[in-house]
Copies of this chain bind each other. A is one copy, B any other.
Amino acid sequence: MVKIAVLGYGTVGSGVVEVLNTNHDSIAKKAGEAIDVKYVLDLRDFPGDPIQEKIIHDYNIILNDDEVRIVVEVMGGEEPACTFVKQALMAGKHVATSNKALVASHGAELVAIAREHNVNFMFEASVGGGIPIIRPLLASLTADEIEEITGILNGTTNYVLTKMGEDGLEYEDVLKKAQEKGYAERNPAADVEGYDACRKIAILASLAYGHQVDYEDIYTEGITKITEKDFLYAKKLGVAIKLLATCSRSGEKVFAMVSPMMIGQDHPLYNVSGVFNAIFVRGNMLGDAMFYGRGAGKLPTASAVVADVVEEVRHMNTNIRLTWNPEKLHLADMKEASHRFFVRVSGSVSDKGEQVSRIFGNVSFVQAVDGEFGFVTENMEEKVFDEKAAQIDGVLMRIRGNF
């Protein structure tokens, strides 16, 4: 029997206990040993709850108990999570975490400490919730050089954009509904400004390219400026608007970005709706693959954490190789990245169409209502687009596109 400790009895922590209880026997069979929770660290008490007998408030009890071989960190936030995780690894305990902030900021360091102490630091649940993506990337796509990873990595924003598109509603109204349903936080900035997706793509890019990608370096644009009107044009163009987090390699350059994008019906992410997440990966041998599922939620996330615990039980005395060099990968300037651009301009095509065509060359116009019109450019570098767009009066909005 393997004893584990769970740090934090919030949504994911209680999910981990529930998954281990519900599937106790089948998990034991797959791990080769039963897995039992010995301690749950939380500041609170839970009188009347069966968990109470395992609740402790002093982390040193866990650190000093040699029977505890695996520590599950599901508190969230950088501190004290980071200190606790380091201490656990240095005490020769394996760690599994769902904490994307921790992994994005300290992943390379924690991977190195784990190797030094011949234990494993695993973090499948930190990206894509229940979707297996970290382990497939590290253990299944190893024959490939990764050309691109593009994901819908945030369920809240995908829900909001899906609803805006389906019901023709404004951003503020859908956000309010999402908050009522519990799909969005009361302070939604981390989701709607793209910060959550940014940390997740930083983790995936670090693993794909083997070097630290700092999330602070990734250009990040949220969905707060997307309006009902943008969806009117999207419908005419037959495209979807999604918040995409992407990294790609072009020669020696690695680009990374979080931004709303228009994608066509032939894009594998086009149909990923509501709170679902999906991650598209292109390998130089494999071609296109996609992983789809629930990117958040108590049990899906806990399922991924427990799967990490099972792998750790199976590799109790072996550090599984994982390349995450702390040396920083310098991202290319996103102004050199190329996309198509959808642009909305005040006025009419008859007034301004000629000017647009003269400046942008070959464009497709999209006629619309309310004293404005739209057009779509060819593929061009971001900085070229910026120069050209500055020459047009009355630009109301631009959305990057890949269709």
Interface residues, chain A, with chain B CB atoms under 8 Å away: 19, 22-23, 26-27, 29-32, 124, 130-132, 135-136, 139-145, 210, 268, 270-271, 283-294, 297, 299-300, 302-307, 309-311, 314, 318, 320-321, 323
Contacts and interface: CB of A to CB of B under 8 A. Distances in A.
Nearest to A283: B303
| Max count, chain B CB within 10 A of own CB: residue among A124, A289, A318 | A289
A13 B297 CA distance: 43
Contacts of A299: 285-287
B132 A19 contact: no
A285 B300 contact: yes
Contacts of A286: 130, 293-294, 299-300, 303-304
Copies in the complex: 2
Contacts of A32: 321
Given A29-B323, A292-B268, A323-B29, A287 B130 contact: yes
Contact of A144 (B139, B303, B321): B303
CB-based closest 8 A-B pairs: A143-B306, A289-B293, A132-B140, A290-B292, A285-B303, A142-B310, A286-B303, A130-B286
A29 B210 contact: yes
Contact of A131 (B29, B289, B303): B289
Given A29-B210, A284-B22, A139 B139 contact: yes
If over half of A's interface residues share one DSSP class (helix, strand or loop), that class is named, otherwise mixed; here it is mixed
Given A29-B323, A292-B292, A285 B318 contact: no
A30 to B, nearest CB: 5
A29 B141 CA distance: 13
A196 to B, nearest CB: 20
A293 B136 CA distance: 13
Contacts of A287: 130, 293-294, 297, 299-300
B285 A145 contact: no
A306 B27 CA distance: 29
Nearest to A314: B321
B289 A143 contact: no
A289 B288 contact: no
A86 to B, nearest CB: 25
A193 B323 CA distance: 45
Given A271-B271, A289-B292, A290-B290, 17 more contacts: A19-B143, A22-B285, A23-B145, A29-B210, A31-B142, A32-B321, A135-B136, A139-B307, A141-B307, A142-B310, A143-B303, A144-B307, A285-B299, A286-B293, A288-B294, A289-B291, A292-B292
